[in-house]
């Protein structure tokens, strides 16, 4: 993989989509049994998640990417506005019989976990050396562009795809800043899964004025979060953010330095995607 953050993030995004399409369109047969119509989506996303998880483990990024930590628990409330927006799509009710509704909830939970770990976890960690603003914008652009696959391979209409790309980009920007502020992808997993579930199972589309209001709010809220939290904190520690905002205390050392010699500098290493 390229050592430049942007090139690395693009390569990882393309690789994830190639694997997704390979399993969804080529390797796996259609999986939609009557007892679990969303089985295919769940299996494909579970496979992609396993691949992303392996890469994060191989590079030592599982914790620092916010994947195996709950981050700053007292900041989880920052995701509440996004959760309320997701819940607004359920006001009109849920469409479909019980089996379909439950199947959708389970499969879209897998989608939420997979896409958050790959986008706000792996891709965002690759872009982290660029700083919070440029990393969040990069995540938003790549996440939005990735939804063009719905038009190219899954039969979505071109105008619907363009709106979905814009919606995904703004959603991705806000979630990226939330990940910087909270230090974990898991609040966004819940928001992502429920947002997809309520929109897909809603009996009708939300009014245009509401959708535009959501877009404006997500852009403004993401910017406010960036200035209030991510910009103030800069970036989460490379050793992962804990529940406490304060850095851990340094342990006193009983070793004495030899006089007249400078202490050796600690070794440094650059993982893939880091400059």
- CA gap 61, 63 in Å, rounded: 6
Provide mean pLDDT across the span 53-77.
97
Provide mean pLDDT across the span 231-259.
45
pLDDT at 110: 98
Q: Are 7 and 43 contacting, i.e. CB atoms less than 8 angstroms apart?
A: no
Q: Coil, helix or strand for 177?
A: helix
Q: pTM of the predicted model, to two decimals?
A: 0.83
- CA gap 132, 144 in Å, rounded: 18
The two tokens of residue 176 are 């990226």
Confidence band, pLDDT 50/70/90 cuts, at residue 243: very low
Place of tokens 């960690």: 125
pLDDT digits (tens, 9 = 90+) for 177-189: 999 999 999 999 9
**Of 218, 164, 227, 211, nearest to 191 (Cα)?**
218
Confidence band, pLDDT 50/70/90 cuts, at residue 85: very high
Confidence band, pLDDT 50/70/90 cuts, at residue 270: very low
Q: Are 140 and 170 contacting, i.e. CB atoms less than 8 angstroms apart?
A: yes
pLDDT at 152: 93
pLDDT at 27: 84
Question: Among 137-141, 155-159, 210-214, which stretch is predicted with the lowest mean pLDDT?
Answer: 155-159
pLDDT digits (tens, 9 = 90+) for 190-205: 999 999 999 999 998 8
pLDDT at 28: 86
Average pLDDT, the chain: 87
Q: Which are the contacts of 142, defined by CB distance < 8 A and separation ≥ 6?
A: 9, 10, 13, 119, 123, 172
**Of 113, 85, 100, 107, nearest to 211 (Cα)?**
85
Q: Are 110 and 49 contacting, i.e. CB atoms less than 8 angstroms apart?
A: yes
pLDDT at 212: 96
Q: Are 229 and 78 contacting, i.e. CB atoms less than 8 angstroms apart?
A: yes
pLDDT digits (tens, 9 = 90+) for 6-47: 999 999 999 999 999 999 988 888 899 999 999 999 999 999
pLDDT at 3: 78
Whether the per-residue pLDDT at 256 is higher than 60: the answer is: no
């Amino acid at each position: 993989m390229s050592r430049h953050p942007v090139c690395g993030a693009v390569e990882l995004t393309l690789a994830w989509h190639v694997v997704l399409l390979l399993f969804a369109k080529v390797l796996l047969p259609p999986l939609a049994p009557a007892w679990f119509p969303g089985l295919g989506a769940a299996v494909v996303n579970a496979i992609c998640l396993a691949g992303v998880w392996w890469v994060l483990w191989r590079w030592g990024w599982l914790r620092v990417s916010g994947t195996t930590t709950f981050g700053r628990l007292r900041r989880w409330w920052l995701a509440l506005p996004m959760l309320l927006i997701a819940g607004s799509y359920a006001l009109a009710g849920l469409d479909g019989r019980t089996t379909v509704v439950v199947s959708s909830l389970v499969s879209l939970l897998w989608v939420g976990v997979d896409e958050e770990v790959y986008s706000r976890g792996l891709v965002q960690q690759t872009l982290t050396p660029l700083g919070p603003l440029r990393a969040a914008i990069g995540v938003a652009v790549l996440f939005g562009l990735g939804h063009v696959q719905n038009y190219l391979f899954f039969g979505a209409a071109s105008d619907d795809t363009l709106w979905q790309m814009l919606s995904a980009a703004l959603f991705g920007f806000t979630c990226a800043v939330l990940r910087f502020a909270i230090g974990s992808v898991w609040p966004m997993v819940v928001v992502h899964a429920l947002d997809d579930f309520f929109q897909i199972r809603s009996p009708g589309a939300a009014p245009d004025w509401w959708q535009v209001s959501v877009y404006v709010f997500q852009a403004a809220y993401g910017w406010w979060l960036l200035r209030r939290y991510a910009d103030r904190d800069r970036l989460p520690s490379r050793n992962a953010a804990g529940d406490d905002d304060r850095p851990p205390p340094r342990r006193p050392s009983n070793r004495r330095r030899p006089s007249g010699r400078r202490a050796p500098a600690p070794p440094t290493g650059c993982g893939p995607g880091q400059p």
